[in-house]
Structure 1
């Protein structure tokens, strides 16, 4: 199963980045770091994203909070732009994703270190894609995680 997973950026803070991974089960096919905001995401989509073959597109769900002035709710604008580009996408909350997909597992799967990312956005996108697969019992992904982990532990 090919999973396109996206960790959206702020639409306001220019140091923020959108992290995108394309996974084939638990293996990395490719990844991208897109500069902040909806406009840059749409540019990436027109140059690269619209040509990608995937089975499911998963976007990290962002919950706006009215009572916290330090929150950057402009992420919702970026999410809306992503959804316009990928209308069949699924919003996935990330609650519990670090416990379900721990750092050690990401390291074993080779999904730990990436270049050019602002706040480990690529790692977050990879974790999100695997988390979606685990929470939705996508057997081929879960089996691939087991195969890779078993192979690495045996060597």
Structure 2
């Protein structure tokens, strides 16, 4: 496996990299840099590079209130899919979520992201809910079984 570098986005340049990946994969819900600055205060964000090349990003939403459910989302840019990078990023997110007390792991995937839906299914997720957002996009909530 090539040498991947995982970083928490600690400055605007890395927050912008995280935002870029998010917006490329989820064009229906684009985020501004200010949105990402706020998001990093609530969630664990990570950016992954192959050398100096941006490959993907992840989000771990910790369990809230009395819930033991965490959300783990791994995003890999299309040019870098199928090389095991998503699996490595997902495993890091899963480990982080469990370290935060998660007993149930969910993810959410935009319906037009066929690769993301297939990735989730291959990694043991099953759909538990779906909804249509304001932008007429279907989102699939999936739970790890």
Do Structure 1 and Structure 2 share a fold, with TM-score over 0.5?
Answer: no
Normalising by structure 1, we get a TM-score of: 0.30
Whichever structure has more helix as a proportion of its residues is: 1
Greater relative contact order, per chain length (Cα 8 Å cut-off, separation 6+): 1
Normalising by structure 2, we get a TM-score of: 0.31
